[in-house]
Structure 1
Amino acid sequence: MPTTTQTPTKTLKESVADRLRRDIVSGALLPGTIIRDLELAQRYDASTSPVREAVTLLTAEGLIEMPPNRPKQVTHIDRQSAREHVAVFKLLTIAAYEWGAPRVDAKGVKEMRKALELIKRIPHDGDPQAFITAARAYEDVVLRASGNRPLRRMLIQLFSTIERVVVLWRIKGPLRLQGMEAVVQALEAGDPQAAVGHCRDLMDSFQQDVEALAPFL
């Protein structure tokens, strides 16, 4: 088995999509912002073709909406929408842990520990993108271990909307360090069922956060 791996080179569409996704999730592009391909091409120093492809990709993720006979815009979020997305996210995440936690190997546990330690070092008011990147790395260990590709794909698509809820409403969401630490410690101790239980607690707390949100953002 090779000791090093090469990170796949991203296409221009993927690169633009990453930057656009980051700007939407962070709030740099607020809900309701009109999306114009030419302006985005200038913003990201790209041609309009990869921009249009990126916009289509983020539309599928629910970050951009195309109302009939109206310009494309960054999707609005209200409490009902947040509640519905979080309910689905909770169910799928718990399913992923039920399947994946018993199959996370020692390497995977180390990856989760590494991501968690990185999250701990990020200042509370630091770059939200750094939190998001580390949190995705933490969760993806379990998603990969689940062996369920459709489930992993659905959760990855949901991540961006969940991250918007966490960042724009300034709630902890699933990023509760005590709960995340408990998950990793359970896996390090070889107790995947305890890890699933801690995951349930995290998701319950997240759902309670969303229930307490103001009606509109």
Structure 2
Amino acid sequence: MQNSDIDAGLTPPPLMPKVERQRLHDTVVEHIRRFIVEGTLEPGKKLNERELCETLGISRTPLREALKVLAAEGLIDIEPNRGASVSKMSEAELRETFELMSGLEAFSGELAAERMTAVELTEIKALHYAMLACRAQNDLAGYYSRNQAIHDKINEAARNSALRQTYIAVNRRLQALRFRSNFQIPKWDSAIHDHDEMLKALEARDGKRLSAILRQHLLDKRDAVLQVQSREDAAAAKLKA
């Protein structure tokens, strides 16, 4: 009986090409997701594959694979024979999704206040102060990345895998809208005040208080987004008239 290659002491070939391909795939997805979140690709915008390939320095195959992932996340709409475009939520979808997220955030806060470790609290404090520094420099992108990291760490600290999976799926659809909710300076500063109160509630391990702050925080973002969308829709209607 012949021994297998492994039995003969031979090792399987390296899998580096697959790893590199996966890294490229993840990188492309992340780049396009950021373009959507930060408004480089606006809601409803039809995607030009050639331009995206040139911008990212890639071929159409990894681009199309990335678009399929983003379509599954609800960020991209792909229609046969019409290509891909950035998803645009209706007012009803927007209201309902923010309401759902407000509940997810509130529940995360209640559990996190009870289960968060001292190390996690220290990490959130560091992110909070870094976020304030970005606000002082009017760095909205830097502010938003740290803001979202804080919310994400609170959700992780809840230590509930079912909640975690639902949170990630819903939040992906709202990230671009949450980013836009800070375009007005008063709304931006109001959000910072909320984060100050969140940190106090976390330090006090006051889950009920943190839950209430997070719920209202998300509902306020919903209202801010609805105001922005209403103005944009009115402006678009005037251009068409």
Give your verdict on TM over 0.5. yes
Q: How far apart, CA to CA, are the structure 1 residues paired with 2:48 and 2:94?
A: 26
1:14 maps to 26
Relative to the length of structure 1, the TM-score reads 0.82
Contact 2:47 2:83 in 1 (8 A): yes
Cα 1:25–1:214 shift into 2, 3 Å: closer
1:176 maps to 191
How many residues get paired? 209
Pairwise CA distance, 1:68: 4.6
Cα 1:59–1:113 shift into 2, 3 Å: same
Out of 90, 110, 119, the residue aligned to residue 107 of structure 1 is 119
Out of 129, 140, 145, the residue aligned to residue 141 of structure 2 is 129
Pairwise CA distance, 1:145: 1.6
Q: How far apart, CA to CA, are the structure 2 residues paired with 1:12 and 1:193?
A: 43
Structure number with the higher helix fraction is 2
Q: Secondary structure at the match of 1:122?
A: helix
Listed one character per residue, the Cα deviations across residues 79-136 of structure 1 (whole Å, up to 9, x for unaligned) are 3332122112112211222223211111111111111111111136834331222122
Higher-RCO chain (CA-CA 8 Å, sequence separation at least 6):
1
User: Could you say what the CA RMSD is over the residues aligned between the two structures, in angstroms?
Assistant: 2.7
Listed one character per residue, the Cα deviations across residues 50-94 of structure 1 (whole Å, up to 9, x for unaligned) are 222221121122211113542211112443332122112112211
1:158 maps to 170
Contact 2:116 2:157 in 1 (8 A): yes
Q: How far apart, CA to CA, are the structure 2 residues paired with 1:162 and 1:127?
A: 20
Relative to the length of structure 2, the TM-score reads 0.75
Unaligned runs of 5+ in 2: 1-19, 234-241
- Which amino acid in the other structure matches residue 208 of structure 2? Q
Cα 1:110–1:94 shift into 2, 3 Å: same
Out of 45, 59, 67, the residue aligned to residue 71 of structure 2 is 59
Task: Give runs of aligned pairs for residues 84-123 of structure 1, distance below 5 A.
Answer: 84-123=96-135
2:52 maps to 40
2:11 maps to none
